[in-house]
A and B are shown apart, each in its own frame.
Chain A
Amino acid sequence: MRDTLKIADKTFNSRLFTGTGKFSSSKKMKDAILASKSELVTVALKRVDIENESDDLLVHLNEDHINLLPNTSGVRTAKEAVFASQLAREALKTNWIKLEIHPDPKYLLPDPIETLKAAEELVKLGFVVMPYIHADPVLCKRLEDVGVQCVMPLGAPIGSNKGIKTLEFLEIIIEQSNVPVIVDAGIGAPSHAAFSMELGADAVLVNTAIAVSQNPIEMGIAFKKAVEAGRIAYKAKLAPIKNHAEASSPLTSFLNN
C-alpha cells in the first residue's frame, strides 16, 4: 500500500512541502520544486498579484501535480488574516490557507492568540487551515478543537536553518495530535528533515534551505530523499537507544531462583 498523506480532501504522495521565496529566479524555483517532487507549495500573497493571471510566480507554478498553498505572511492580526484568506480564495480558487500571523517582522514569530482566533473563524468560513505556530502542545490541541486540518509547529526560527531546536515539545505534539503534524521553519539540512520524519512528523515544509543553496535543484532532490528515508525509518521503527550497558550481574535474578 502506498504511504500517502491525507489532509482534508487531498492525498499527497510526497511529504515534502516547499516554499517559493528567496530563489534567484522563478525558473530556478520551478526547477527545484519539480526536482523535489513536492506537491504542496506555499506562496506569499503579498508577493504575487493574485488578480493577474500572468503573474510571473504563479505562471511558473501552473503544474497539474502542484497544489498552491497561499500564505498570509505580512498580516499582523486575525482580522487581516481572515480578509487576506478570503481574497486568496476568490482569486486563486483554493480554500486552503497557510495561516501565518507574525506581528514581529524581525524573527517572524507567530502570534498564538491571533492565530487561534483567525483559525476558528476561517474554519467556520470553510477553509482548510494550516496554521504556522510555536511548538506549543496546548495550542495545538486548542487549534485541533476549533477544526484545523493540521498543525505546523516550528523547529527553529523561520529562515534560521538551525534544525530541530524544539524537540521536546515536538515529541509531545506528535504524540498527542489527531491531525497531521508538519514541521515548518528552521529545517536547514536534509538531515534535519529526516530527523523530523523519524520522530513521526507527517511532513515537513522547507524553503530557505533549498532556495538559498548553491544548487537548489540538487538540494530539492536531497530533501526529497531525506524525507522519504526518515519516513521509512519511522515506519520500520528505529532500534532503541541504549543509555546504559546491560549489567552482567543482574541485581534481581535471585527472584527467579
Chain B
Amino acid sequence: MSFKNTFNNYNWDTLEKEIYAISTEDVATVLKKEKISLDNFKTLISPAAKPFIEQMAQRSNAITKKRFGNTIQMYIPMYLSNECQNICTYCGFSMTNKIPRKTLTDAEILKEVEHIKSLGYDHILLVTGEANKTVGVSYIKHAIDLIRSHFSNISIEIQPLDQDEYETLISSGLYAVLVYQETYHKATYKIHHPKGKKSNFDYRLDTPDRLGKAGIHKIGIGALFGLEDWRVDSFYTALHLKYLQKTYWKTKYSISFPRLRPHQGGLEPKVEMTDTDLVQLICAYRLLDEDVELSMSTRESEIFRNHCIHLGITSISAESKTNPGGYTAEPESLEQFEISDERSTAEIKTMIESQGYEVVWKDWSNNWE
C-alpha cells in the first residue's frame, strides 16, 4: 500500500468540476465549522471562497499563533550542484540548457558554510539537480557529514531516492526531505518531464511513502504552481498530507507554495496564481491543519513576504542564492531561478521583529541520535 492507491480513487476532472461548482452558501456553512475536513478544504480553495478571504486570514492568524506562537523559523538553501540529467521544462537546471555546470568541492562547501553561519543560520537546506554520477547518494552523504557539526538541522531537496538510501542519509544526521510532486496531473506531468528519471510520475508520487518508512523526521510536499490548475493540485497535496499524517504519524510535515519564477529558458505559467489566490490557499491549509509547517521562500515579493507571516506561514528563508557557490565560492554559476525578495538576512530579521514576532534560528538538536 502507498499513496498511489489513495490517489487512484480520485479523478482530476471530477475534482475540478466539484471545486468550481461550490457556492457562496457552501463556503459560509463550512466556515461555521470548528474542524475543517478535507472536503471542507475543497470548499475553502474554491473561487466561491474568495469573498471570505479576510475571515479566513483572521482565523488562520489566530490558529497559527496558538500552535506556533509569535515566532518565525529561519532557514537558508545551499545549492551544491546544478548538474542535471532531467528535462524539466520550467527549470533553469534542465539538461537542455547548454550552460557550464558546477558541483561544489569540499573546500567550496565549507567556504559557503562559513558565510552562511556568519549570517546566523542554524537550519540549512541542501539542494542539487539530479545527476546520479556526480551528485548521487554518496556525494550527499559526504556533504552532510562535512557540514553536520555546523548545523542543528539539515534538510535536502534532491532527486527521489530509495528507502535504504534515505535510511543511510538519516543515520548521517538528515532531518528533512522536501520533495514536490510539481503537479498531480499525470498527463501534464509527462509533458513537463519528458526525459530522465524524473519522468517516472509514480516513483515520485510514492517518494514520501519511502521517506515515511525510512523514519524521516520531516517531509515537505507541495506542487509547483503554474503547471496546472492550482486548486486541484492543492487538493491533491492536502489529500497527500492527510494520508501521510495517518500512515507515518511520527513524521512532521511542511507545505511549500512555489510559483513559477523567471529563469534561463523559462516557461510561461499555464495557469496564473494571483497573490490573492496564494493567500487564500495558505489560509485554507492552516484551517485544514493547525500543525503543518507552512514555508515561504524568496520566490515571493517583499510586500507579499512582509504580510505572509501574519497569514499562517511559520518558516521563511532569506538572502537565498539558487546557484551552487552563490554565496561566496562561485557567484556567477547558473542559477535555478531568480529570487524576488533580495533583502539581506538582517533586513528580514528586522522586518519580522518589527511585526512582533521572534526570529528562531535553532529549533532542533542533531546530537541526540
User: Interface on A for B, CB 8 Å cutoff?
Assistant: 21-26, 44-49, 74-76, 80, 83-84, 87, 103-107, 159-161, 208, 211-212
A22–B72 Cα distance when bound, in Å, is: 10
A23, B291: Cβ atoms under 8 Å? no
A24, B249: Cβ atoms under 8 Å? no
B70, A211: Cβ atoms under 8 Å? yes
Chain B residues within an 8 Å CB radius of A25: 353, 358
From DSSP, what is the main secondary structure of chain A's interface residues? loop
Interface Cβ pair total, 8 Å cutoff: 71
From DSSP, what is the main secondary structure of chain B's interface residues? loop
B69, A87: Cβ atoms under 8 Å? no
Minimum CB–CB distance for B283 against chain A, Å: 19
Q: A83-B368, A105-B291, A212-B65 are in contact. Are A22 and B71 (CB under 8 A)?
A: yes
Residue of B nearest to A44 (CB): B363
* Chain B interfacial residues counted at CB < 8 A: 28
Q: What are the interface flags for B330-369 relative to A under an 8 Å C-beta threshold, 1 for contact and 0 otherwise?
A: 0000000000000000000000010011101011110111
Chain B residues within an 8 Å CB radius of A161: 66
B65, A46: Cβ atoms under 8 Å? no
A49–B122 Cα distance when bound, in Å, is: 10
A63–B208 Cα distance when bound, in Å, is: 46
A22, B362: Cβ atoms under 8 Å? no
Residue of A nearest to B249 (CB): A104
Q: A24-B356, A105-B250, A106-B245 are in contact. Are A211 and B69 (CB under 8 A)?
A: yes
Chain A residues within an 8 Å CB radius of B353: 25
Closest 9 CB pairs of A and B: A22-B69, A24-B70, A105-B252, A80-B368, A103-B250, A46-B365, A106-B291, A84-B368, A24-B356
Q: 29 A-B pairs, CB-CB below 8 angstroms?
A: A21-B69, A22-B70, A22-B71, A23-B70, A23-B71, A24-B69, A26-B358, A44-B363, A45-B365, A46-B152, A46-B365, A47-B360, A47-B363, A48-B362, A80-B368, A83-B368, A84-B365, A87-B367, A103-B249, A103-B250, A104-B249, A105-B217, A105-B251, A106-B249, A159-B66, A160-B66, A208-B69, A211-B70, A212-B66
Minimum CB–CB distance for B134 against chain A, Å: 34
Chain B residues within an 8 Å CB radius of A23: 69-71, 358
Chain B residues within an 8 Å CB radius of A212: 65-66, 69-70
Minimum CB–CB distance for A44 against chain B, Å: 8
Cβ-based interface call for B68 (8 A)? yes
Minimum CB–CB distance for A53 against chain B, Å: 15
Cβ-based interface call for B67 (8 A)? yes
Within 8 A of A (CB), among B233-253: 245, 249-252
B66, A104: Cβ atoms under 8 Å? no
Chain A residues within an 8 Å CB radius of B251: 105
Residue of B nearest to A107 (CB): B291
A257–B203 Cα distance when bound, in Å, is: 89
A49, B65: Cβ atoms under 8 Å? no
A107–B67 Cα distance when bound, in Å, is: 10
Q: A46-B363, A47-B363, A211-B69 are in contact. Are A75 and B358 (CB under 8 A)?
A: no
Q: A46-B362, A46-B365, A47-B362 are in contact. Are A76 and B69 (CB under 8 A)?
A: no
